[in-house]
Amino acid sequence: MSDKNTDRVIVCGGGLSGLAAAVAALEGGAKVMLIEKAPELGGNAAISNGVIWSFSDFERIRAEIPDGDPVLQWLVHDSIDAAWAWLESQGATLSPKTFNPELGRNERTIVAPQAIAALADQFQRLGGEVRLQSGLDALITQDGVICGVRMACNGRTQDEAARAVVIATGGFQGNTELLARYVVRDPDNLYLRGNPWQTGDGFLAATQIGAAASPGLDTFYGHALAAPPARISRQSFRDYTQWYGQQSIAVNLHGERFADESHGSSEHALNQALAQQPRGMGFYIVDQELMDAPAVKGKEQLTRVIFERARAAKAPIAVADNIEELCRQLGAFGVPENRLFQEITQFNRLIDSGHAGNLKPPRKRNRKSLTRAPFYAVGVKASITFTMGGLLIDERARVLRRAGTTSPLAPLPETRPSMATDAATIAIGTDYRQSAIEGLYAAGCDAGNIGHFGYMGGLGPALVTGWTAGKSVAGFVKG
């Protein structure tokens, strides 16, 4: 490995977080090489719906996602406006900011391919070097300090020197071995509703040199999709996402409710519970009133539009004028008719009698019985878009080491996020402190535990952590 590039930064991953880090690092005066193992840039962002948002109120973030990292959550919340402005300054086109009162969030929309192209163009204008079809194979260290990467390209490996590395490889949702280890017993329970190139390369490389894994490795974001035999391509998964799960009665293949359908800020929480059910499959059951209502509060798309798409894709479907007939039809798909009938009628009875608090599993919101015929059922299967757990980082996007040291210093306050840590360590307990791995940064889905079962968006955290990592690594390299 040559020493001629020891003042260089290597960014691993060409999605939104990686490109943001790469451009910000160049703006900070660093020399940057970006490597991406796919044949094109974009990552999950390129196939997303393009909404960059954050909850408008930090207290709501903590209420929705109490187990997430409050420091990183505050970083996203506090930086999103400045990050939007920075992204626009790079040539990306963003819609005006809007507030969604139902979801309690501020949001702006990008045309994802245009934003990715704008960042890529800016990266090259500033003198950055791109290597496509080049993946991260390993991190190279000397005395515990980053000094380069081992890059895999065309069936061979090649060592590249670097003063610092930013890991932005996009999580491990495409790696069935890691999914089985951390997320779900049988990875076949999950559709991959995202980029197939994101297989945990950054997470594995960093943990192999002693990086700490974050809490929440078993948590992920995704939505239930129309179940087989429906055939869904990577380009069409949004059309077959069954967004209305929070208003439905959701049952597994045993005909039993398995979760509070209304939990969380969207259907993604129900999807995580569905992934743990037999074959990761079940049915969402609704009545005509719900069919004529928006699938998601604050959005315009009606449930019946989504239902008809699932029907056209040949997903398991049942339509009946009464509950008995609906259960009989679902019996043809292997769902026990009697058990399902008992589940639906008990749900309706407890809701209508004012005893919804006796439901097991509970139903805290959307307490409405299914009474208006006809009744509809759609077969659904869980999916994964990105993992929420990853590497443990601080508010400067520095990756922390597993090994710790004792210190008499007081811990960071637990009542509010703190942006003030010393230059080398972050306190996590009364006398236990973890040090950063010198020269190693992480962003996007590789930055773990911003969300934890709860959802803070994908593009917002990717943009903020990528931008933060780029500024931090430039400051480190320039010294």
pLDDT tens track for 206-221: 999 999 999 999 999 9
Beta strand 31-36 pairing with 8-12 = parallel
Strand partners, 131: 35
| Same domain (yes/no): 247, 332 | yes
| Same domain (yes/no): 112, 90 | yes
> Do residues 421 and 441 touch, judged by C-beta distance below 8 A?
no
Count of beta carbons in the 10 Å neighbourhood of residue 423: 7
> Do residues 440 and 406 touch, judged by C-beta distance below 8 A?
no
Count of beta carbons in the 10 Å neighbourhood of residue 341: 18
Tens digits of residue pLDDT in 65-82: 999 999 999 999 999 999
| Same domain (yes/no): 165, 311 | no
Q: Is residue 1 part of a domain?
A: no
| Same domain (yes/no): 330, 231 | yes
Contacts 24+ apart (CB under 8 A), 290-296: 290/244, 290/247, 290/248, 290/368, 290/370, 291/376, 293/247, 295/243, 295/244, 295/247, 296/243, 296/244, 296/266, 296/267
- Is pLDDT of 439 > 60? yes
Q: Is residue 202 part of a domain?
A: yes
* Average pLDDT over all residues of the chain: 91
Domain harbouring 247, CATH code: 3.90.700.10
Residue with tokens 């019985």: 369
Q: Is residue 101 part of a domain?
A: yes
Last-in-domain residue among 365, 381, 397: 381
| Same domain (yes/no): 187, 63 | yes
Could you give the number of structural domains in the chain? 2
Give me the pLDDT at residue 239, please: 85
Q: Is residue 377 part of a domain?
A: yes
| Same domain (yes/no): 50, 179 | yes
d(CA 143, CA 253): 54
| Same domain (yes/no): 251, 320 | yes
Which residue segment(s) compose the domain that 249 sits in?
A: 223-381
Q: Is residue 186 part of a domain?
A: yes
State both tokens at 47.
């196939």
**pLDDT average, residue stretch 322-336:** 97
| Same domain (yes/no): 168, 250 | no
Q: 143 vs 45, 147, 167, 168, 209, CA distance in Å? A: 36, 10, 20, 24, 11
| Same domain (yes/no): 256, 186 | no
Tens digits of residue pLDDT in 366-396: 999 999 999 999 999 999 999 999 999 999 9
Last-in-domain residue among 349, 381, 413: 381
Last-in-domain residue among 331, 359, 381: 381
Domain harbouring 422, CATH code: 3.50.50.60
Q: Is residue 130 part of a domain?
A: yes
Q: Is residue 2 part of a domain?
A: no
Tens digits of residue pLDDT in 163-185: 999 999 999 999 999 999 999 99
d(CA 283, CA 377): 6
| Same domain (yes/no): 374, 469 | no
Give me the pLDDT at residue 412, please: 42
| Same domain (yes/no): 177, 233 | no
Q: Is residue 3 part of a domain?
A: no
Tens digits of residue pLDDT in 388-400: 999 999 999 999 9
Rg of the chain over CA atoms, in angstroms? Answer: 23
| Same domain (yes/no): 75, 203 | yes
Tens digits of residue pLDDT in 12-64: 999 999 999 999 999 999 999 999 999 999 999 988 889 999 999 999 999 99
Give me the pLDDT at residue 264, please: 86
